[in-house]
C-alpha cells in the first residue's frame, strides 16, 4: 500500500517535456475519436432493413369468418377453410405469431388476444413443421405483468412456442422504397427476419381510430417513442403494414371491448361475438371486422387511407367471403 | 487448524450472500424463500427507534428483540459473524497487511464516538424524530446493493451480451440464453437510480476506512454496534486467558483493539472474531461460558461515557430539534413536486417511519421509485418518490407496500390501492400536440388505466392563431377529469412530447 502511494506521488511529481505533452495530447485525441468509431462499428452493424416480402399464396377464399363457442376450434376451422396452415408454414420455417398483449389485463377483460387463439395457432404451426415459433409484443404496461396476466405466455409455452421480451437494442431501421414518415423507425429484428408473420390482433375499441385492428396491432413491433406514431396515424400505419406485410391475419373477436379502449378494465364494456376472422389481406380483414361491429370502415382513418391508396382489398361485396357457424 | 476462524469466515460469506440474494430477489413476482421485510425487521436499531419515534408498536420490533436477547449471551456476535458491512470491512482489510495500530489513548476516544451517535439517535427518537436511518449499516449496505450494485452489474451483463450478439451475430442459442437470463435473473430494467451516488458515497467511505485501520467503522461510528455493545456488557460468553507470556501479540492483532495492556478486554468492543485464540503462542486464550469476574479490575472496564459527556451530547443535539417538521397534514387541493408511493398520506409520519432501505425502489416493477435529495427538506433525504419520466405506478401492482419493513408505505389491498390518489395529472396546453399544434394525439387517453377514463377526449374544431395548416379540422382534445385521476403517471411516461412532457403529474406534497 505504501509502495503504491509512493509510486503515485512520484508519478504526479514527474516533469513533462513539451514533446511528451504533445504526445499525450495527440494520444488522447486519437483515443477519443477512435472510441466513437469503435462503438459505431460495434453497435451500428447491419441495422437497415428493406420491407418484408410477402409470400404469394393462393387461398380458397379471400376471407373466412367462423362463429362458434370454442375459440380454438374457430381458428382451426378458419385456417382449414383458407386452405390449411401448410400453405403458410413450410417445413423448417421460423414463424412469428404476434398477438396483441399490450395491457396488464386478464383474458376476460378483452384487452388482449384470447390465449386459446394464440395457443391453437402455435400448435398448428408446429404441426406444419415449423422450426421455431416466436411470440412477443412490446407492451404498454410492464412486460412481466402483461405476459403473465394476459395468460398468453402460459398458453403459448405449453404448446412449445418461444415467448420472450423484445429487446430495444435488437432493432433494424425501416427503409422504404418511397417517401414515408416511418423512414428509419426502429423495428424489432425478429419481426422482419422471419419466414412467416402471423398477425393475431384482438378486435376492440380505440379512442383515436375507433377500432383497434390488425394494422394497429403491428405497432407492437415498433420500438422507439411509439407515441409519435399517433400523429398522422393513418399514413404511418398503412406504411408500416406495407413494410411488415403479414402473411396471415387472424382477428380474434371472441370477446370484444366496446368502450374505454384500448386498455379497458371493466367487464361491463365487454360483449361476446365468438367470431374468428382469417385472411391474407389485412385491409380486407379490418374492413370485415368493421362490418361486424356495425361501423363504417371509412370512419376508421387508416382504412380510409388504405382505400384511397388502393392498398389491399377494401370492397367486401367484390371479395370471396366465406362465413360459417359451428 | 483454525476451526473457529474458518467457521466465522464461512458464516460471514454465507450471510453476505444471503443478504444480496434476498435483495436481488426483491422483485416481481416476489417469491423468494426469505421475505425482504425480515432482513430489516431483524435490525434492532432501526426497528426500535422507528417504533419509539412514531410512538407505535411495529411488527418487526419483536424480531429484533430476539437478536438483542442473544447479544446478552454471546456479545457482539452480529458484528463479527453476521453483519455484511463487517464482512466487507474484513474483506477489504485483506488488501493491506500492515494496518495502523492506534495508540490506546486515541482508540479510547474514537470508540466513544459511536455511543455519541447512538445517544443522539435515541434522544431524537424520544422527541419523535427518527434518525436511525442515517448511519445504520444494514440500511446503508442494502441501499448500496439495490441502488448501485445490482443496476451496475445488470448494466455490464446487458451491454456485454448486446455487444456479443450484435457484433458476432449470435442470434441462435446464445440469444435464447440471454433472454432466459434477462427474463428470470436480471430483475431490474434500469442501470442507474437518480441521486443514488450520494448514498453510494457513504458506503464507499465505510469501505475505504479498513484499508488503513481495521474495522474503523465498527469501532468508531456504527450506532448498531454501539447498541449491541451496551447489551454485550452483560454477556456470559467470555474471553478467558489461562496462560500468558506477555508477548502482546493478541494486542496488536485484535481488529477492534479491544484488548487492553493488561490482557483483559473490553467486552463491548469484542466482536468474537476469534483471532486472539489462534495468535497466542502458548494457546492460553479461549472463549467460554463464564459467569465469574476475571482477574482484572472490573471498575476499569465500566461504561465508556461519563456523566459530563452525556450532558454534553444532550446539549449538542438540541439544535437538531430544528428538524421537527410541521407538515403534519397535506392540503390535497394544493399539488406540488414530490409524488410519494401509493397510500402515503401523511408526509411527516412517512418521513419518520421510512428507514430508507431502498426495498420499494428495488421492487418497483417499472423502476419508477427513486430516492430524493432535498426536495422535501433535509429530513426527507433518500425517501422514495415516483419519477414518472422513468417509470409510472402500475395500476394492478401493490409490491412497494408488500416489501416495506416499517409499513411507511401501507400494505393495501389491490382494490383499495387502485383508488389511492398519488397526485393529479395536468396538461400543459402550451406544448401539447393537439392543444398547441392541432395534431391528433391521444396517447395519454389511450394509456389511462382507470376504467372510466380519467383523461377524456372532446371533439373540437381547431382555431389556433399561429397554426394555419390544420385550422378548421375537427380533432380530439384531451382533458383531465380531476375526480377520476389517480396520478399514476403513465400518461407522463408515455407522452411523446420532448424534452419536457406535455402532461405532468403533480404530487400531493
User: Would you state the pLDDT for residue B321?
Assistant: 63
- The whole-angstrom separation of Cα B58 and Cα B404 is 12
User: Would you state the pLDDT for residue B299?
Assistant: 44
Contact A231 B165 (CB under 8 A): no
Contact A263 B366 (CB under 8 A): no
The pLDDT of residue B439 is above 60: yes
What average pLDDT does range A158-183 have in this prediction? 89
Identify the band that residue B332 occupies on the pLDDT scale cut at 50, 70 and 90. very low
Identify the band that residue B297 occupies on the pLDDT scale cut at 50, 70 and 90. very low
Please, what is the end-to-end C-alpha distance for chain A in angstroms? 82
More confident: B318 or B180? B180
Minimal Cα–Cα distance from B201 to chain A, Å? 22
Chain A / chain B CB contacts < 8 angstroms: 105
User: Could you report the predicted ipTM of this complex, rounded to two decimals?
Assistant: 0.83
User: Would you state the pLDDT for residue A94?
Assistant: 92
Contact B441 A140 (CB under 8 A): no
The pLDDT of residue A226 is above 90: no
Chosen for mutation from B393, B496, B499 (greatest number of chain A CBs closer than 10 Å) is: B496
- The whole-angstrom separation of Cα B197 and Cα B187 is 21
Identify the band that residue B316 occupies on the pLDDT scale cut at 50, 70 and 90. confident
| Tens-place pLDDT, residues B21-80 | 999 988 888 887 888 888 888 899 999 899 988 888 888 788 888 888 888 888 888 999
Contact A164 B183 (CB under 8 A): yes
Minimal Cα–Cα distance from A295 to chain B, Å? 19
Q: Tell me the residues of A at the B interface, defined by beta carbons under 8 Å apart.
A: 1-2, 42-43, 45-46, 104, 140-142, 144-145, 148-149, 162, 164-165, 167, 169-170, 189, 206-208, 225-228, 230-233, 260, 262-266, 269
Q: Which residues contact B306 (CB under 8 A, 6 or more apart)?
A: none
> Using CB atoms and an 8 Å cut-off, which of residues 87-126 of chain B contact chain A?
95-96, 98
Considering only CB atoms, A227 lies closest to which of B396, B443, B453, namely: B443
Question: Residue B452: its chain A contacts at CB < 8 A?
Answer: 260, 266
What average pLDDT does range B161-169 have in this prediction? 84
User: Would you state the pLDDT for residue B335?
Assistant: 56
> Using CB atoms and an 8 Å cut-off, which of residues 346-405 of chain B contact chain A?
365-366, 394-397
Question: Residue A263: its chain B contacts at CB < 8 A?
Answer: 446-449
Q: What percent of chain B has pLDDT over 70?
A: 91
B168: nearest CA in chain A?
A42
Reported as half-sphere exposure (CB side, CA atoms, 13 A), residue A157 has a value of 9
User: Would you state the pLDDT for residue B129?
Assistant: 84
What average pLDDT does range A113-131 have in this prediction? 93
The DSSP letter of residue B213 is: S
**Choice among A286-300, B30-44, B333-347 with the minimum mean pLDDT:** B333-347
CB of B418 within 8 A of CB of B395? yes
Nearest C-alpha neighbor of A233 from the set A212, A254, A249: A212
What average pLDDT does range B283-300 have in this prediction? 64
Q: How many CB atoms lie within 10 A of CB B428?
A: 15
Ordered DSSP codes for B445-497:
HHH--SSS-SEEEEEEE---SS--SSTT-EEEEEEE-TTT-----HHHHH---
Minimal Cα–Cα distance from A317 to chain B, Å? 31
More confident: A58 or B117? B117
Contact A265 B183 (CB under 8 A): no
The pLDDT of residue B311 is above 70: yes
- Rg of chain B in Å (alpha carbons): 28
Is B457 in the A-facing interface, judged by CB distances under 8 Å?
A: yes
| Tens-place pLDDT, residues B443-452 | 888 889 888 8
Nearest C-alpha neighbor of B216 from the set B118, B93, B74: B93
| Tens-place pLDDT, residues A262-281 | 887 788 888 888 999 999 98
B98: nearest CA in chain A?
A1
The pLDDT of residue B238 is above 60: yes
Contact A43 B166 (CB under 8 A): yes
Per DSSP, which regions of chain A are E strands?
48-49, 63-67, 94-99, 132-135, 162-163, 171-174, 186-188, 196-200, 202-206, 210-212, 248-257, 270-279, 321-325
Is B262 in the A-facing interface, judged by CB distances under 8 Å?
A: no
The DSSP letter of residue B306 is: -
Contact B440 A208 (CB under 8 A): yes
Identify the band that residue B137 occupies on the pLDDT scale cut at 50, 70 and 90. very high
| Tens-place pLDDT, residues A241-263 | 999 889 999 999 999 888 877 88
The per-residue pLDDT of chain B, averaged, comes to: 85
Reported as half-sphere exposure (CB side, CA atoms, 13 A), residue B465 has a value of 1
Q: What is the pTM of this model?
A: 0.86
Amino acid at each position: 500500500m505504501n509502495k503504491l502511494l509512493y509510486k503515485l506521488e512520484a508519478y504526479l511529481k514527474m516533469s513533462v517535456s513539451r514533446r511528451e505533452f504533445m504526445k499525450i495530447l495527440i494520444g488522447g485525441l486519437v483515443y477519443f475519436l477512435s472510441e466513437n468509431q469503435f462503438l459505431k462499428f460495434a453497435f451500428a452493424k447491419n441495422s437497415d432493413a428493406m420491407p418484408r416480402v410477402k409470400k404469394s399464396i393462393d387461398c380458397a377464399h379471400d376471407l373466412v369468418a367462423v362463429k362458434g363457442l370454442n375459440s380454438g376450434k374457430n381458428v382451426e376451422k378458419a385456417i382449414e377453410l383458407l386452405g390449411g396452415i401448410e400453405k403458410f408454414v413450410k417445413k423448417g420455417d421460423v414463424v412469428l405469431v404476434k398477438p396483441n398483449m399490450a395491457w396488464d389485463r386478464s383474458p376476460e377483460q378483452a384487452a388482449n388476444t384470447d390465449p386459446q387463439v394464440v395457443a391453437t395457432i402455435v400448435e398448428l404451426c408446429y404441426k406444419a413443421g415449423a422450426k421455431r415459433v416466436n411470440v412477443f409484443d412490446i407492451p404498454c404496461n410492464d412486460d412481466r405483468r402483461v405476459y403473465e396476466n394476459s395468460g398468453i405466455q402460459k398458453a403459448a409455452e405449453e404448446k412449445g412456442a418461444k415467448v420472450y421480451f423484445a429487446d430495444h437494442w435488437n432493432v433494424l431501421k425501416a427503409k422504404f422504397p418511397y417517401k414515408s414518415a416511418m423512414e428509419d423507425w426502429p423495428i424489432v429484428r425478429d419481426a422482419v427476419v422471419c419466414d412467416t408473420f402471423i398477425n393475431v390482433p384482438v378486435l376492440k375499441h380505440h379512442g383515436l381510430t375507433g377500432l383497434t385492428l390488425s394494422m394497429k396491432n403491428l405497432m407492437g413491433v415498433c420500438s422507439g417513442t411509439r407515441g409519435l406514431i399517433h400523429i398522422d396515424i393513418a399514413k404511418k400505419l398503412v406504411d408500416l403494414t406495407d413494410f411488415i406485410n403479414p402473411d396471415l391475419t387472424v382477428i380474434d373477436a371472441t370477446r370484444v371491448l366496446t368502450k374505454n379502449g384500448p386498455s379497458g378494465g371493466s367487464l361491463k364494456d365487454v360483449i361476446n361475438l365468438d367470431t374468428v376472422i382469417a385472411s391474407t389481406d389485412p385491409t380486407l380483414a379490418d374492413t370485415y371486422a368493421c362490418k361486424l361491429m356495425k361501423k363504417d370502415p371509412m370512419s376508421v382513418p387508416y382504412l380510409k387511407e388504405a382505400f384511397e391508396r388502393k392498398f389491399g382489398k377494401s370492397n367486401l361485396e367484390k371479395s370471396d367471403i366465406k362465413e360459417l357457424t359451428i | 487448524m483454525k476451526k473457529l476462524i474458518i467457521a466465522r469466515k464461512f458464516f460471514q460469506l454465507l450471510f453476505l450472500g444471503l443478504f444480496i440474494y434476498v435483495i436481488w430477489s426483491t422483485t416481481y413476482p416476489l417469491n423468494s424463500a426469505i421475505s425482504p421485510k425480515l432482513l430489516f425487521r431483524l435490525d434492532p436499531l432501526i426497528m426500535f427507534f422507528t417504533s419509539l419515534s412514531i410512538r407505535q408498536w411495529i411488527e418487526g420490533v419483536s424480531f429484533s428483540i430476539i437478536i438483542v436477547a442473544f447479544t446478552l449471551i454471546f456479545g457482539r456476535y452480529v458484528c463479527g459473524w453476521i453483519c455484511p458491512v463487517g464482512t466487507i470491512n474484513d474483506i477489504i482489510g485483506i488488501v493491506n497487511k500492515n494496518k495502523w495500530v492506534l495508540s490506546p489513548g486515541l482508540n479510547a476516544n474514537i470508540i466513544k464516538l459511536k455511543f455519541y451517535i447512538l445517544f443522539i439517535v435515541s434522544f431524537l427518537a424520544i422527541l419523535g424524530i427518527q434518525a436511525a436511518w442515517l448511519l445504520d449499516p444494514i440500511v446503508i449496505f442494502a441501499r448500496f446493493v439495490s441502488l448501485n450494485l445490482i443496476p451496475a452489474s445488470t448494466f455490464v451483463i446487458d451491454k456485454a451480451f448486446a455487444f456479443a450478439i450484435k457484433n458476432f451475430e449470435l442470434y441462435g442459442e446464445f440469444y435464447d440464453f440471454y433472454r432466459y437470463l434477462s427474463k428470470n435473473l436480471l430483475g431490474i430494467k434500469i442501470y442507474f437510480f437518480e441521486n443514488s451516488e450520494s448514498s453510494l458515497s457513504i458506503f464507499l467511505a465505510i469501505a475505504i476506512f479498513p484499508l488503513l485501520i481495521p474495522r474503523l467503522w465498527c469501532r468508531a461510528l456504527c450506532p448498531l454496534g454501539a447498541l449491541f455493545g451496551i447489551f454485550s456488557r452483560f454477556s456470559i460468553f467470555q474471553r478467558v486467558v489461562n496462560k500468558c507470556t506477555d508477548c502482546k501479540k493478541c494486542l496488536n492483532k485484535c481488529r477492534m483493539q479491544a484488548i487492553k495492556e493488561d490482557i483483559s478486554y473490553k467486552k463491548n468492543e469484542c466482536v468474537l472474531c476469534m483471532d486472539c485464540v489462534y495468535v497466542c503462542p502458548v494457546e492460553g486464550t479461549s472463549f467460554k461460558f463464564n459467569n465469574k469476574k476475571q482477574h482484572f479490575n472490573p471498575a476499569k472496564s465500566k461504561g465508556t461515557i461519563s456523566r459530563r459527556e452525556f450532558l454534553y451530547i444532550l446539549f449538542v443535539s438540541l439544535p437538531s430539534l430544528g428538524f421537527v417538521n410541521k407538515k403534519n397534514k397535506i392540503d390535497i387541493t394544493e399539488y406540488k413536486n414530490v409524488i410519494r408511493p401509493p397510500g402515503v398520506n401523511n408526509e411527516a409520519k412517512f418521513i419518520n417511519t421510512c428507514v430508507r432501505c431502498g426495498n420499494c425502489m428495488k421492487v418497483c416493477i417499472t423502476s419508477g421509485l427513486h430516492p430524493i435529495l432535498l426536495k422535501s427538506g433535509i429530513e426527507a433525504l433518500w425517501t422514495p418518490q415516483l419519477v414518472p419520466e422513468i417509470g409510472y405506478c402500475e395500476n394492478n401492482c401493490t409490491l412497494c407496500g408488500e416489501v416495506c419493513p416499517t409499513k411507511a408505505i401501507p400494505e393495501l389491498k389491490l382494490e383499495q390501492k387502485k383508488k389511492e390518489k398519488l397526485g393529479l395529472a395536468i396538461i400543459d396546453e402550451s406544448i401539447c400536440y393537439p392543444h398547441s399544434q392541432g395534431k391528433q394525439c391521444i396517447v395519454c387517453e389511450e394509456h389511462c388505466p382507470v376504467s372510466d377514463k380519467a383523461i377524456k377526449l372532446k371533439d373540437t374544431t381547431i382555431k389556433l392563431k399561429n397554426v394555419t395548416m390544420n385550422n378548421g379540422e375537427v380533432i380530439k382534445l384531451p382533458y383531465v377529469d380531476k375526480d377520476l385521476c389517480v396520478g399514476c403517471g403513465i400518461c407522463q411516461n408515455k407522452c411523446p412530447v420532448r424534452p419536457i412532457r406535455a402532461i405532468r403529474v403533480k404530487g400531493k406534497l
